[in-house]
Amino acid sequence: MAAEQKQNSIQTRNLNLWYGEFQALKSVSVDVKNGLITALIGPSGCGKTTLLRCFNRINERFPYVRTQGEIVILGKNIYDPDVSLIELRKSVGMVFQRPNPIPISVYENVLFGLRIHHRLGHFKKAYLEEIVEKSLTEVGLWKDLRDRLKVKATTLQLEQQQKLCIARLLPLKPEIILMDEPCSALDVEGTRSIEDLMYKLRGRYTIVIVTHNMAQARRVSDECIFMLLGEKIEHSRTEDLFLKPQNPKTGEYIEGRYG
């Protein structure tokens, strides 16, 4: 068990979730490996976004959600009563479909998470400036924005806004980054840029991405999990899943017969 936990960032066991009376996840058991990009694929309503949002317990914002089962992240069941949601979401950051920068400066956006969790007055200005530079450099924005740090983040191009949202996670030193269709609002060039960034971040972070785009899943992910009607149908290396699917339903979906 200990060896599995070192190999895997996320393990779910018999995970079930209900929205009221509707069961959205049915006995889902998956292992998400450390440092890889894992894509969740499947038709609309199959449960992939619900599963993604279980990993930082964001589904629980809604009172009608009920969950059973276990999710072990970094060796700890996140449903244990002593788990702090604040600490969990520091370790498991999330990027949404549409960029959601805060309508404040680029500089303050990068430091926003730190400001929530720490008193920034305890840090020297030079240290904070170093964090901003490092975070923006890691997402490929420093060269373009180093002279525009006081600009309101919402005035940036959509691609830059999405990269900034990723940069905003990094000062908290997450180990896992969840991405819910992060390119759905972007054009072809913006999509390519975010995909390139994901590949650069691969290894330093475990990335789980929900995507409807089969070409994107094939391009960027190391492993794929195919879901259908709330169940995990197949989980394997991306190349194997696309070229040698083990389940006929997987093949039908990849070939575009439904979904």
Q: What is the pLDDT of residues 129-181, one digit of tens each?
A: 999 999 999 999 999 999 999 999 999 999 999 999 999 999 999 999 999 99
E strands, 46-163, in order:
65-73, 76-77, 92-95
Domain count, the chain: 1
Instruction: Tell me what pLDDT residue 6 has.
Output: 67
Output the domain CATH number for residue 27: 3.40.50.300
What count of other Cβ atoms lies within 10 Å of the Cβ of residue 150?
10
Convert the pLDDT of each residue in 90-125 to its tens digit.
999 999 999 999 999 999 999 998 887 766 667 788
Output phi, psi for 102, to 5 deg: -80, 140
The answer to the question of residue 259 being in a domain is no
Dihedrals φ, ψ of 19, to 5°? -100, 95
Summarised one tens digit per residue, pLDDT across range 168-201 is 999 999 999 999 999 999 999 999 999 999 999 9
Determine the pLDDT at residue 115.
82
- The stretch 192-218 carries a mean pLDDT of 96
Rounded Cα distance, 154 and 108, in Å: 12
pTM of the model: 0.94
Name the 3-class secondary structure at 112: helix
Mean pLDDT, rounded, for 194-222: 96
Task: Assess if residue 8 is contained within a domain.
Answer: yes
Eight-class DSSP state of 217: H
State the residue for tokens 């409807």: 212
Q: Taking residues 28-42, report their average pLDDT.
A: 97
157: domain range?
Answer: 2-254
Model pLDDT, residue 11 = 97
Neighbours of 166 (CB within 10 A): 24
Q: Is residue 18 part of a domain?
A: yes
Pick the residue with more confidence: 62 or 230?
Answer: 230
Mean pLDDT of 75-86: 93
